[in-house]
Amino acid sequence: MSTIDLPLTRESIVAAHALIKPHIHTTPVLTNTTLSHLASTPQRPEALRGTPWEGQEPAKPKIRLFFKAENFQKIGAFKVRGAFHAVLRLVEEKGIEEVRRKGVVTHSSGNHAQALALAARTLSVPAHIVMPSISTPSKISGTRAQGAILHFSGSTAAEREAVVADIIKETGSTLIPPYDHPHIMLGQGTMALEFEEEVAKMLEEKPELSVHYRETRGEEEGKAKGRKGGVLDALIAPCGGGGMLSGNAIYFHSTPTLVFGAEPEFEGADDARRGVAAGERITSVKTLTIADGLRTPLGPHTWKVISDKDYVAGLYAVTEQHIKDALRLVLERMKCFVEPSAVVGLATVLFNEDFRRLVEKEAGEEGWDVGLIFSGGNTTIEAIVKMFGDVDKKEAARGEGVVGADGKEVAENVAG
């Protein structure tokens, strides 16, 4: 890739956003009163049975949620941000004719494949995409639809990289990695810039959306009682290879907004959390978590940021059932189509008592405004049907609604 790497700073993300803005969507920020209510309701003691928090008093945080909907991004995921930024920086360095003559290459079975294919097509650059032969047919067809040149390989990293090496030797094309490069990280960080600006505008127009708003003698005084020095108290990003989490952490570094990462714990998918706890990067992950976009370990570049407490304040893991419960809430209450990987942050807020206790301790009675990133929506109806196929048939027949953390059915869906 480019030999000219930009510094990992907030200013570099501002510059990246200016560069890629013509090619991406500015995705919306959503709110939902029902989910904010659930996040602010103590979990039932029986819900903590069999967990590390069994027998403990449930946390009582006060939380308002804001969702950055990257599922509405081009190709249905945030990955286009990093892909466009990396290719455009490559063009700046080598010139468009040279890049068009040699092309770009990557290996990916998912969203990065489609993102790079779109970026390359937009700039009339040949894109060689190495995909495992066992890749999901819909992802293969989606990548092919962008005009990419597909090459198939085995499923292991070594097999994919061997095919990439052959393509580079034959064509001279430039590798655009899926997450572990400064230009990818900075591109993904552009969502944080938008998130901050959009929430600030929302709270200017409707200050009552913030947990910090207090009704007083007038609206202006209420605004004055909002958070000092920042907009969001915290942001939680899903973490797989770490490009998105590190990009957001770079943007919010040295600001009042704390950044956290969320991972699935199934079969060791929480490699970032475990690696940071042990002080050593975990380089291999083998998991079949339903959050399939988060099955990748951190790379050297993303590890350097994510393992630094000054950038990422903490990492949390959630169970497969918690991911499914969070996904159901988003589908049914927000009417928003997302993939399982997108809801690990929401699952953390709703079900991880360590995070909930942190909010209770740090925020007290006032609470936190928490930003969550819906990283993408690239799943299928068939996958969702299969995922929820083990729902109790009697419950489904009764048509029962989602049960909230207080044990009561959540009957209404109110968009804040």
pLDDT at 75: 93
Q: Reply yes or no on whether the pLDDT at 379 is more than 90.
A: no
Neighbours of 171 (CB within 10 A): 16
Asked whether 305 and 311 are in contact (CB, 8 A), the reply is: yes
| CATH classification at residue 216 | 3.40.50.1100
Does the pLDDT at position 267 exceed 70? yes
Range of the domain at 189: 10-77+184-389
Token readout for 351 is 């079900």
Nearest to 234 by CA among 406, 73, 79, 62: 62
Closest CA to 59 of 294, 326, 358: 358
Q: What integer pLDDT is reported at residue 126 of this predicted model? A: 96
- Whether 48 contacts 2, CB under 8 Å: no
Strand order in the sheet with 127-132: 149-153, 127-132, 104-107, 174-175
Question: So what's the pLDDT on residue 1?
Answer: 63
Per the structure, the count of domains in the chain is 2
| Domain contains 406 | no
- The torsion of the CA quartet 245, 247, 248, 252, rounded to 10 degrees, works out to 130
Q: Does the predicted model carry a pTM greater than 0.75?
A: yes
233 with 299, same domain: the answer is yes
Asked if residue 395 has pLDDT above 60, the reply is no
Can 173 be counted among the known catalytic residues?
A: no
Least confidently predicted of 205-214, 321-330, 395-404? 395-404
What does the pLDDT read at residue 61? 97
Give the Cα separation of 172 and 168 in Å (integer): 5
Q: Considering 2, 40, 109, 375, which one is annotated as catalytic?
A: 109
pLDDT band at 140 (very low <50, low <70, confident <90, very high): confident
Burial (CB count <10 Å: 0-12, 13-18, 19+), residue 158: exposed
Q: What are the structure tokens assigned to 415, written together?
A: 């968009």
Closest by Cα among 263, 248, 260, 258 to 363: 258
**Taking the alpha carbons of 246, 248, 251, 252 in that order, is the dihedral positive or negative?**
negative
Strand ranges (E), 104-221: 104-107, 127-132, 149-153, 174-175
> What is the mean pLDDT of the segment spanning 227-235?
75
CA 68/CA 367 separation, integer angstroms: 20
Active site residue 12: no
pLDDT band at 398 (very low <50, low <70, confident <90, very high): very low
Domain boundary pick from 127, 150, 181: 181
Same domain membership, residue 269 and residue 203: yes
- Going by pLDDT thresholds of 50, 70 and 90, the confidence category of residue 3 is low
pLDDT of 272-316, one tens digit each? 999 999 999 999 888 899 998 899 899 999 999 999 999 999 999
Distance CA 371, CA 191 (A): 11
Q: CA-CA distance, 88 to 92, in Å (whole number)?
A: 6
Is residue 254 domain-shared with residue 142, that is, in the same domain? no
Question: Which of 181, 206, 232 finishes a domain?
Answer: 181
Closest of 266, 270, 355, 268 to residue 313, by C-alpha: 355
Residue of 2, 36, 68, 79 marked catalytic: 79
Does residue 69 share a domain with residue 201?
yes
Q: Is the distance from CB of 84 to CB of 187 less than 8 angstroms?
A: yes
Last residue of a domain, one of 139, 162, 181: 181
CA distances for 313 relative to 14, 200, 253, angstroms: 22, 22, 10
